Chain A
Amino acid sequence: GNSVTQMEGPVTLSEEAFLTINCTYTATGYPSLFWYVQYPGEGLQLLLKATKADDKGSNKGFEATYRKETTSFHLEKGSVQVSDSAVYFCAPSVQGAQKLVFGQGTRLTINP
């Protein structure tokens, strides 16, 4: 079955630092890949997605590229802000089943 491994947190960075949160997955077929963000006390919000190999998803300065050869979908941002402090979840979908498999989440804290 599908599974996903995310970089363990918590991750603490200073404002304007470069961010990478690693995500690798195992899946049959060709899943779509998603990153979600959860701010304190809120539900999950879709941050970005990619539906096929070599696609790059981007939103709010975050980017992730679908790497089929390494089964990875690492999240990056060039210059983080305090407002980016949240928990980030990587999730591949199960092809043909319309289901997501979530990683355990990575808590990110940005200090001013």
Chain B
Amino acid sequence: NAGVTQTPKFQVLKTGQSMTLQCAQDMNHNSMYWYRQDPGMGLRLIYYSASEGTTDKGEVPNGYNVSRLNKREFSLRLESAAPSQTSVYFCASNEQFFGPGTRLTVL
């Protein structure tokens, strides 16, 4: 089992560019999550999906969209990146299993 995988590991964007962060899990979990981690602020929930076909906003959803493509995959999209979205992004499944993270810099 690969657990939770995320791509890419690193990304640099210019303000206004768009991109999609990919996440997949092979543990057959129903729930999946996207968090961002900023220095001194812990992790904040962006969006989550309690089951395939459902998504809900978390604490900081503005500027993001998500797609629960199937039970395995949960993607996070930035339509028009802003410097305030510079962060490390973590995907998780079943509350307890985290991916390695994507470090995103927006210039």
Which of A42, A45, A89, A100 is in CB contact (< 8 Å) with B95? A100
Interface string of A84-104 (1 = CB under 8 A from B): 000001000100001111111
Residue of A nearest to B90 (CB): A43
Which of A36, A44, A93, A102 is in CB contact (< 8 Å) with B44? A102
Within the complex, the shortest CB–CB distance from A95 to chain B, in Å, comes to: 12
Measured CA separation A60–B94 after assembly (Å):
22
- Size class of B's contact patch? 20 to 34
Within the complex, the shortest CB–CB distance from A42 to chain B, in Å, comes to: 7
Query: Is B43 part of the contact surface with A, judged by Cβ < 8 Å?
Result: yes
Interface string of A38-61 (1 = CB under 8 A from B): 000011111001000000000000
Query: Is B41 part of the contact surface with A, judged by Cβ < 8 Å?
Result: yes
Which of B40, B48, B96 is in CB contact (< 8 Å) with A104? B40
Which positions in B face A, CB cutoff 8 Å? 31, 33, 35, 40-45, 48, 50, 58, 90, 92, 95-101
Instruction: Provide a sorted-by-A list of 11 A–B residue pairs whose CB atoms are within 8 angstroms.
Output: A43-B99, A44-B43, A44-B98, A46-B96, A46-B97, A89-B42, A98-B31, A98-B50, A99-B45, A102-B42, A104-B41
